Amino acid sequence: MTIKLHCFGESGNAYKAALALELSGLDWEPVFVDFFNGATRTPEFLALNPMGEVPVMEDGDIVLSQSGVIQDYVSSKSGKLGGRSAEERRQILRWQFWDNHKFSSQIGGVRFQLNFLPEKHRNPAVTDFMQARLKSAYKVLNRALADREYLVGDRLTIADLSCCGYLYYPEPFGFERADWPHIDAWLERIAATPGWKHPYDLMPGSPADRA
């Protein structure tokens, strides 16, 4: 049975789930969600996910939301991208929780303000505050990758896929890869993984489609 992932290209959180599915080798297909025209607020979508967010995964009778949960499911089902021990699994969870709280949530907010929110509604003070928090997070990630190729163990896991998700997007949000050499090298390694795809190649929907 083909797994369905409700998603759209501009969503970094959807990309995390989509990339895990793509690299796992599981049979899956994207289902476009027209977020910018209110699709996540319709009764039909809210019946699927009362949180009103993408991504949402359907695998038969199993319906899951939240990218980290979907990644964990994909890893468990495929036997790929997960930890080799209980300790590695805990370390993966540690990075996923850090990403959700300290990293992706900040990037998502800044990127949305600077690229998708009408200029009259943007708040420079909020952007400055979030970018300051992000600078601290970049330091954490860059240090962690100074002496290792991947965040957990010796190979790619869903910890990496969680933390890298937003960093491949072309829209400016204050992140310059050249400023963070260990992050830059890590992103190059991930992108060299067989099967890797850019978010706008992996999922339907991009700023160019709405231009």
Which pLDDT value is given to residue 85? 97
Q: Kindly report the average pLDDT of the chain as a whole number.
A: 97
Does the pLDDT of residue 166 top 90, yes or no?
yes
- Percent residues over pLDDT 90 in the chain: 99
Outline where 116-166 has alpha helix (H): 124-144, 158-164
Strand 56-59 and strand 62-65: pairing? Answer: antiparallel
With beta carbons less than 8 A apart as the criterion, state whether 205 and 32 touch.
yes
With beta carbons less than 8 A apart as the criterion, state whether 27 and 3 touch.
yes
Band (pLDDT 50/70/90 cuts) for residue 92 is very high
- Percent residues over pLDDT 70 in the chain: 100
Query: Do you find a cis peptide bond into 172, omega within 30 degrees of 0?
Result: no
Q: Domain with 47 in it: what CATH number?
A: 3.40.30.10
**183 lies in the same domain as 129:** yes
**185 lies in the same domain as 204:** no
**121 lies in the same domain as 174:** yes
| CA gap 70, 74 in Å, rounded | 6
**Burial grade of 108 (CB within 10 A; 0-12, 13-18, 19 or more):** middle
**178 lies in the same domain as 131:** yes
Question: What does the pLDDT look like over 45-64, one tens digit per residue?
Answer: 999 999 999 999 999 999 99
**72 lies in the same domain as 115:** no
**76 lies in the same domain as 93:** no
Which pLDDT value is given to residue 210? 84
In the chain, where do the E strands start and end? 3-7, 28-32, 56-59, 62-65
**94 lies in the same domain as 184:** yes
**67 lies in the same domain as 53:** yes
**62 lies in the same domain as 112:** no
Question: What does the pLDDT look like over 96-153, one tens digit per residue?
Answer: 999 999 999 999 999 999 999 999 999 999 999 999 999 999 999 999 999 999 999 9
Which pLDDT value is given to residue 200? 98
**60 lies in the same domain as 30:** yes
**201 lies in the same domain as 160:** no
Does the pLDDT of residue 155 top 90, yes or no?
yes
Residue 149 sits at φ, ψ, to 5 deg, of -85, -30
Strands of 28-32's sheet, edge to edge? 28-32, 3-7, 56-59, 62-65
Q: Domain with 134 in it: what CATH number?
A: 1.20.1050.10
Q: 40: domain range?
A: 3-81+197-210
**32 lies in the same domain as 103:** no
Which pLDDT value is given to residue 105? 94
Structure tokens at 137: 């997070």
Structure tokens at 148: 């290792």
Looking at residues 159-186, what average pLDDT do you find?
A: 97
Does the pLDDT of residue 211 top 80, yes or no?
no
Structural domain total, the chain: 2
